[in-house]
Amino acid sequence: MLIGSDYRVDIEVHANLSKPAQSDKLNETVDYVHLNKIVLEEMAVRSNLLEHVAKRIINRIFLELSTVDKAQVEVSKINPPIGGDVENVTVILKVERPK
């Protein structure tokens, strides 16, 4: 994304958490530190479209976090320069892991 703009990224992931709920082992669950790393790295890549960034984030979630079955990524540009008093614009992508 272009430097100087503010963005917000919200992620929702779905996974079967019954095993880590019993075991208390980080390697059996969805690591939110890993999710944050993916977002930071993908947001650092210059892009023209919010849609493109959201799709890259989802692709990496499925590639790197095998426990995730579904992911929803919302990427918002805060105070976009589109004229008028607009707080933000948001793109939402929701994808299920390919079978």
Q: Is the dihedral of CA 46, 51, 52, 57 positive or negative?
A: positive
The yes-or-no answer on residue 19 being catalytic is no
Burial class (CB in 10 A: 0-12, 13-18, 19+), 42: buried
Cα gap 47→60, rounded to integer Å? 16
Query: Which one is catalytic: 19, 25, 77, 99?
Result: 77
**Enzyme catalytic residues:** 77
